């Protein structure tokens, strides 16, 4: 699934793909915001760790969980 995260006062958004489901990502975000933690941690599809500060969070956009098709559709 593709995740786009907007950070306040940053012109570019953070964009990465994760093997997690939309429900798991949403649960992580809600839990971090409700608990008042300083950051959220995600793991992308390549195994890299992404740490996002919750105080600077502008928005989070969750993309489709369907994988992209390669080639021509006939």
- CA gap 48, 57 in Å, rounded: 20
The b-or-e profile of 1-39 (16+ CB within 10 A means b, else e) is bebebebeeeeeeeebebebeeeebeeebeebeeeeeee
The b-or-e profile of 43-74 (16+ CB within 10 A means b, else e) is eeeeeeeeebeeeebeebebeeeeeeeeeeee
**Domain map of the chain by residue range?**
20-65
pLDDT digits (tens, 9 = 90+) for 2-33: 999 999 998 999 999 999 888 999 999 999 99
User: Rounded to two decimals, what is the model's pTM?
Assistant: 0.76
pLDDT digits (tens, 9 = 90+) for 60-71: 999 876 556 666
Report, as an integer, the average pLDDT of 37-49: 93
């Amino acid at each position: 699934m593709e995740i786009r995260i907007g950070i306040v006062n940053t012109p570019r958004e953070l964009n990465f793909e994760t093997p997690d489901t939309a429900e798991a990502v949403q649960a992580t975000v809600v839990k971090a915001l409700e608990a008042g933690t300083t950051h959220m941690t995600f793991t992308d599809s390549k195994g890299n760790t992404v740490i996002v500060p919750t105080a600077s969070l502008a928005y989070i956009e969750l993309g489709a969980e369907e994988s992209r098709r390669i080639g021509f559709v006939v």
